[in-house]
Every structure is written in C-alpha cells, then in structure tokens.
Structure 1
C-alpha cells in the first residue's frame, strides 16, 4: 500500500473532491482525518471508508479559522503522532459568482473566491507545516480546475482565486521543500460527476443562451481525449503524489486536464 502508516488530513472532505481523495488515501492504507463544516456529511464519508476496511475520523473544522485548524492539528498529532499530508479541497458555491460578465460583477463578489480560497489554503498549509518541518517531511496538497491557467469568460473571481492557489503552491515549496515539506497542486478539468459542476455548467449555459447539455458537450470536447477528468483519476493521482514515490515532485502542478492545457 502506497500510504500505509500515513496520517492525512482532508479539508472539505464532505465535498465530491474531498470525499474522493479521502477514499483513495484510505484505500492505500492511510489513516484519514476528515474535516468540514457539516458533521452529517463528513460522518457519512467516514462510515463508507470504515465499511470498506479503512481508518477514518471526523471533526467539524472551518478551514479558514486558524485557531480551529491549529487546535485540530494539535489533536491529530497528539493522537496519531504526525500529520504527513494535508489536502485542502474546500469549495464555495458558484451562485452569484459565475455566469456574470465582469463588467456587471460587484466587487465584493469578485473578491469572495480570491480571499476565501487564499485564506483557507494559507491557514491549513501554514498550520500543517509547523508539524511537518519539525519532523522533516510532509506534503501540502491542493486542487484547481483549468480556469486557473486558461482565460475563460464568465468565471468571475474564481479563476483569479485558483491562479492564486497555484502561485501559493510554488511559494510554499520555495520556502519549505528544503525542510522536507513538498507542495503539490492537482489541476483538472471540471468534473461532471460533481454536483457543483452541474450548477456551474447551468449558470454558463444560461448566460450563453444554450442548453446545459450543449455546454457540457462543448467543455468535454476541449480536451484531447474528448472527455473531462474523472474523480477516480484525480484520486489516483493524488494517492501517487502524496506517496514517497513522488518525492522529487514539489512546487509543481500535476496537469490532469487531458490536453486542455499543454505544458
């Protein structure tokens, strides 16, 4: 198992991305600590993991609240002995933020994803790094979709917020890799299996005057494979990148866009 004896904290573990990577980590032997703001949802993910033979524990934690994150990580380390991987998969609702021309978007709605994502990822990374640097090892992980790199219309401040995360990923590595702490971002297409993409594609389709099915087909056709990234593909890549087999990879973005973006 690639992640045996690893202790992994997943923020936003009740969401589609957080839940998928948490299940992948647990399947490969990790002990996963699931956090989120809805106890019912993260408890449901934990029960699935345990039923499949994995190890999972839950806690209600707001990833943007530094005190709450610090206190939770201190508890994890006191109980498990270490935090080996921190994966931040939080998301915010696209309603009122996407599908709106920039010239019509209120400033506060433009800034919301930028400040929310930047703060939460900095808080969770900084808090985990305190423990990782002391041990001389660890991995900070995050996820962004393709508008972090591509100039796409009607995504408001989301694209800027996601681009900021990729910049933060490089900065974290520049400071912490020398102490054994790697930083990795996984970039995907929109994943049609996720409820949030169903909403996003609907907002964009309405703004363009086409059906959601037409927009979904057009988005999938942009990749070389003519289909979007799947949650299973994201989870598989996350498992490998969190493992010691990816020890040379840091400060980089794993491109899982299927050719939409060619590096």
Structure 2
C-alpha cells in the first residue's frame, strides 16, 4: 500500500460542472421583447434553456434574440398577439417545432390602462386589459399544458401577477382585478394539472423599473417615489430580480412548489 502523501492540488477541472438552473429545458416566454420578459429570456438562456420569445413588436424581439445568440445562447422569436387564440397556439407550437418539446413557460405579457378611479375607467380600456391580462394567460396556459403533456410529459408554468392584485387597488382597479383573476387561474391550474406533474405558479412583482412603470410615472409624477416609500427595501426592482424568481419556480429546484403566488415586492406587503 502506498502511503505517500498526494501532492496534487485541486483545480477547477476537478470540480463537478455546475449545471444551469434550466439546463436542457425548452422555455416559451410571452412579453419577451422588453422589461421583465426580456430579462427572463436572457436569464433563462444563460441558465441553459433553449428559449422562444413571443411578443407583438418584432424589432424588440429580434434585438433580444440576437443579444442572446451573441452571448452563446439558443433563442428564436415569433410575433404573437395574446388576444388571438390561434396565434397563441401557433406560437406555442412553434417552440415544439423548433426544439422538439416544451418544458416550461413564462406568461409575462401584460398591458396597462390610464390610472384612475373605477368609475373613470373607459369600457374600451377595461375590455382591452381583460383580453391581454386575463384571457391571454388563459389561452397561453391551455396551449402550454397541451404541448407539455404531448412532449416533455411534465413541466412548469409561471404567470406574472402583481402585488397590486393582493389588495384594493384604487389607482389601477381594472389592472388589479385582472391580475387577481390570474392568481385564481394559477391556483386552479395547479390543482388540475398537478397530478400529471405539471406545476403552475405565479409571481407578484412590486414596483419594477419597466416601461410600464415609467408610463405610470409619466401620467402620475412621483408615483415611483411614493411606492418606494412604502417598500421596506426603499427601492424599485430591476427586471432581472423578478426574472430570477420566475427562473427558480420553473426549475427543478422548486419541484414541490405549485399553486403559489410568490410576492417579489421588496417587502411591500409584509
């Protein structure tokens, strides 16, 4: 028996390779041209997923896709209007056509209407926010469940809700109502598809520095400062911080989490 002490110095090559959070998964992302959706697309690709980006604005989608590819990731995009059921199904099917399967989906696309009391919300605005923020996620989840079931067999879906869905929302009543309904759809889907191994969760972001919050700031100057004053961390989130929560919920590291609306709000609702 050789008892000579080893002189070998461990190196990085000796360490086990660190797998990405979403290594080997195919991810479909709506609202992926900007804000949280674009941050998620970049993050998911860095974490090893092959991603399909969907949104209405092609130049934004193309820019994010090219950025991901330049960084060594695998990405493609498709124009998709969440108000169009056939278009949503076609977008989800495109992910399967490109990559052979669907494992995870992040339903992030949303719109906002001018802030103000409920009696001042225009009917046309209410109808529009319903179609995009509630009907859209419903259409997407239905298509995604079918695609996951037919290919990967098991998987995960995350919907973007809002901390504004967890309380009365006098400044954005229609927006808050649709997001609260998304919470209900999320929980119902989790109960329905859990036995098949399909997990469904939602994230409820607080104030996040996206184009949407900047538009709200433009119409209601000082709103970000007021929101930050009621946030224990005293700041707004970067979109990547919200995307990180979605990535974890979509990953196998959250394998026993379903039916949850996870607050990512800097403590605003604590």
| Aligned residue among 116, 119, 123 for 1:103 | 119
Partner of 1:248: 256
User: What's the offset of the Cα at 1:219?
Assistant: 0.6
TM-score normalised by length of structure 2: 0.87
**In 2 relative to 1, CA 181–233 (structure 1 residues): closer, same or farther, beyond 3 Å?**
same
User: What's the offset of the Cα at 1:141?
Assistant: 1.1
Q: Report the Cα distance in structure 1 between the residues aligned to 2:77 and 2:97, rounded to whole angstroms.
A: 15
Residue deviations 1:18-54 (CA, integer Å, cap 9, x gap): 1011111001010000111221110100011111111
| Aligned residue among 30, 35, 51 for 2:54 | 35
- Report the secondary structure of 2:97's partner residue: helix
Q: Does 1:126 align with 2:142?
A: yes
Q: Report the Cα distance in structure 2 between the residues aligned to 1:87 and 1:226, rounded to whole angstroms.
A: 27
Aligned residues between the structures: 250
- Report the secondary structure of 2:261's partner residue: strand
Q: Report the Cα distance in structure 2 between the residues aligned to 1:105 and 1:80, rounded to whole angstroms.
A: 42
Partner of 2:81: 62
Partner of 1:196: 212
Residue deviations 1:205-235 (CA, integer Å, cap 9, x gap): 2xxxxxx2x3321111111211222212112
Q: Does 1:215 align with 2:223?
A: yes
**In 2 relative to 1, CA 10–260 (structure 1 residues): closer, same or farther, beyond 3 Å?**
same
Larger Rg: 2
Q: Report the Cα distance in structure 1 between the residues aligned to 2:181 and 2:227, rounded to whole angstroms.
A: 23
Partner of 2:184: 167
TM-score normalised by length of structure 1: 0.89
* Root-mean-square deviation over aligned CA pairs: 1.6
Unaligned runs of 5+ in 1: 206-211
Residue range with higher mean Cα deviation, 14-23 or 126-135: 126-135
User: What's the offset of the Cα at 1:116?
Assistant: 2.6
Partner of 1:209: none
Q: Report the Cα distance in structure 2 between the residues aligned to 1:111 and 1:157, rounded to whole angstroms.
A: 9
Contact in 2 for aligned 1:115/1:161 (Cα 8 Å) = no
Contact in 1 for aligned 2:199/2:257 (Cα 8 Å) = yes
Contact in 2 for aligned 1:188/1:257 (Cα 8 Å) = yes
Contact in 1 for aligned 2:207/2:224 (Cα 8 Å) = no
